[in-house]
């Protein structure tokens, strides 16, 4: 163990953060796990095992989880996507009874399948008590425990990415009084933390939440809500990690509060594709589930010559954020940020060729694929994007005279190197 860990761990471990009561805390002192198993528990240890499965969605970079007691066959699903067939099949095959469907927060990058599953299986739909949604749910509070057979799902309120975000500690008391796993939603990610810049996010709260999570014991396995995608900017790609590893090697873990706020708050990725429609749908204020990318259609990529010689009536849609667009864009381009594409789809003409452009070509490819999914037949993505245009000496327009001063500043948007969502690997 490094000097850092030796000095850091005793100072920061706060047992009350993860032990539900004084008895658990007392048991943890001088802990010997064999002494905690009663003879009865030892005899029945086989049936007391748990089931745990992580499901990864390559298209949106999201992770969801199925947790069950093999003793009672009671199950919970955390952060399910809208394509619920895989969960349904798993529940059927295993004979599990779905008690709880939990969203760790209101998602902005994918449509949740929580309401669909809860309705289908008669399960409780669970969210943190402060969640602002237009449908009924079971409100969860900090430190509350949900029983799942012999398992306990312990709620930790870990705001920052979203104000209502929770993490969930998984405890299997017959095996150990201590948690062995934590589902962190978009608080602590592998090599990163969740972005705090939308939906009431708060970078200072994120610091506090991540600091608290890092007080858990080294051995606790971390299962995040994302392994890649637009909710962070430096995820390493692994779908899980441990508290000990992140405490030592997460580049944000050793920063003090001020450094953390500066680093995490500065330079955020663009808002996710169709975020406006997806978030409204997940809050129950709209029904735009079709905003979710569920296919990976082939879309042509055009080069700069083809961009220059495009038909006179072709629409050129720039899907970057407004500040990026204001700082310089290809003449004739119209700004429609990817976050608003589904909610403003009627602004994209269906009777003419459509070319989509962004900074480097990745966002535009995803946006063009989405348009194709929605039935646009003559749609293409500009390879290399505005950056390639600028490097080739192309003329740049700014949004208007009033924006020229803003254009002198570098936009605070950073491109991520997330490349798996529905296309070939693509250099930004
Ligand atoms: Fe999120």
pLDDT in tens, 309-362: 999 999 999 999 999 999 999 999 999 999 999 999 999 999 999 999 999 999
Would you say residue 239 has pLDDT above 60?
yes
Closest by CA to 276, choosing from 108, 102, 42, is 108
Distance 140 CA to ligand 1 centre (A): 18
- Residue with the larger pLDDT of the pair 48 and 250: 250
Distance 335 CA to ligand 1 centre (A): 25
pLDDT tens readout for residues 240-285: 999 999 999 999 999 999 999 999 888 778 888 999 999 999 999 9
Strands across the sheet containing 354-357: 301-302, 379-382, 354-357, 315-318, 334-335
Q: What is the pLDDT of residue 334?
A: 97
Which residues are within 5 Å of ligand 1 (an ion), measured at CB? Answer: 186, 231
Give whichever of 2-6, 41-45, 190-194, 385-389 has the largest mean pLDDT: 385-389
Distance 27 CA to ligand 1 centre (A): 35
63 and 224 Cβ atoms separated by less than 8 Å? yes
Share of the chain above pLDDT 70, in %: 82
Q: What is the pLDDT of residue 47?
A: 60
Distance 52 CA to ligand 1 centre (A): 22
Distance 120 CA to ligand 1 centre (A): 24
Catalytic position from the list 126, 358, 400, 425: 358
- Residue with the larger pLDDT of the pair 36 and 412: 412
Q: What is the pLDDT of residue 418?
A: 45
- Apex 134 CA angle, 132 and 137, nearest 5: 80
User: Residues near 202 by Cβ (< 8 Å), separated by ≥ 6?
Assistant: 159, 160, 163, 196
Give the CATH fold of the 3-265 domain. Answer: Metallo-beta-lactamase; Chain A (3.60.15)
Cα 15 to Cα 18, 20, 26, 318, distances in angstroms: 6, 9, 10, 50
Distance 233 CA to ligand 1 centre (A): 13
Average pLDDT on 16-38 reads: 44
Average pLDDT on 85-114 reads: 97
- Please report, in angstroms and rounded to a whole number, the separation of the first and last CA atoms in the chain: 38
Average pLDDT on 290-309 reads: 94
Average pLDDT on 116-138 reads: 98
Q: What is the pLDDT of residue 333?
A: 97
Q: Hey, where are the domains in the chain? A: 3-265, 295-407
- With 0-12 / 13-18 / 19 or more C-beta atoms within 10 angstroms meaning exposed / middle / buried, residue 188 is buried
- With 0-12 / 13-18 / 19 or more C-beta atoms within 10 angstroms meaning exposed / middle / buried, residue 6 is exposed
Pick the CATH number of 295-407 from 1.10.150.570, 3.40.250.10, 3.40.50.150, 3.90.1150.10: 3.40.250.10
Alpha carbon distance 397, 327 (integer Å)? 8
Alpha carbon distance 410, 175 (integer Å)? 54
Q: What is the pLDDT of residue 400?
A: 57
Alpha carbon distance 167, 354 (integer Å)? 42
Task: Name the CA dihedral angle for 391, 395, 400, 406, rounded to a multiple of 10 degrees.
Answer: 20
Alpha carbon distance 416, 228 (integer Å)? 10
- Residue with the larger pLDDT of the pair 339 and 8: 339
Confidence of residue 165 (pLDDT cuts 50, 70, 90): very high
Average pLDDT on 214-243 reads: 90
358 labelled catalytic: yes
Distance 106 CA to ligand 1 centre (A): 7
Average pLDDT of every residue of the chain:
86
Would you say residue 424 has pLDDT above 50?
no
């Amino acid at each position: 163990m490094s000097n850092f860990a030796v000095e850091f761990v005793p100072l920061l471990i706060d047992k009350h953060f993860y032990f539900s009561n004084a008895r658990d805390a007392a048991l943890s002192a001088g802990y010997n796990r064999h002494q905690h198993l009663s003879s009865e528990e030892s005899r029945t240890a086989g049936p007391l095992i748990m089931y745990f499965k992580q499901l990864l969605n390559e298209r949106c970079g999201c992770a969801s989880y199925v947790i069950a007691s093999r003793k009672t066959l009671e199950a919970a699903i955390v952060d399910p996507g809208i394509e619920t067939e895989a969960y349904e099949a798993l529940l059927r095959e295993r004979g599990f009874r779905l008690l709880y469907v939990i969203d760790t927060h209101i998602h902005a990058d994918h449509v949740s399948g929580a309401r669909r599953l809860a309705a289908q299986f008669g399960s409780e739909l669970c969210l943190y008590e402060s969640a602002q949604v237009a449908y009924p749910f079971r409100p969860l509070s900090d430190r509350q425990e949900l029983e799942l057979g012999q398992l306990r799902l312990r709620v930790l309120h870990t705001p920052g990415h979203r104000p209502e975000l929770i993490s969930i500690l998984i405890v299997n008391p017959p095996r150990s009084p201590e948690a062995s796993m934590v589902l962190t939603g978009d608080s602590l990610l592998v090599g990163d933390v969740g972005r705090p810049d939308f939906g009431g996010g708060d970078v200072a709260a994120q610091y506090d939440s991540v600091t608290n999570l890092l007080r858990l014991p080294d051995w606790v396995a971390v299962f995040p809500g994302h392994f890649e995608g637009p909710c962070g900017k430096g995820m390493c790609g692994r779908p899980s990690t441990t508290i000990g590893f992140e405490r030592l090697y997460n580049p944000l873990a050793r920063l003090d509060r001020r450094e953390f706020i500066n680093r995490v708050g500065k330079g955020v990725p663009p808002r996710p594709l169709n975020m406006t429609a997806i978030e409204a749908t997940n809050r129950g204020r709209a029904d735009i589930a079709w905003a979710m990318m569920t296919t990976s259609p082939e879309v042509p990529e055009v080069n700069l010559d083809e961009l220059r010689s495009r038909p006179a009536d072709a629409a050129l849609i720039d899907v970057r954020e407004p500040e990026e667009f204001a700082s310089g864009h290809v003449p004739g381009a119209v700004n429609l940020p990817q976050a608003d594409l589904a909610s403003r789809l009627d602004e994209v003409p269906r009777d003419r060729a459509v070319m989509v452009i962004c900074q480097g070509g990745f966002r535009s490819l995803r946006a063009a694929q989405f348009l194709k999914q929605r039935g646009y037949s003559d749609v293409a993505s500009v390879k290399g994007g505005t950056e390639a245009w600028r490097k080739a000496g192309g003329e740049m327009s700014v949004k208007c005279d009033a924006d020229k001063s803003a254009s002198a500043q570098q936009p605070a948007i950073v491109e991520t190197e997330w490349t798996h969502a529905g296309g070939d690997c693509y250099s930004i």
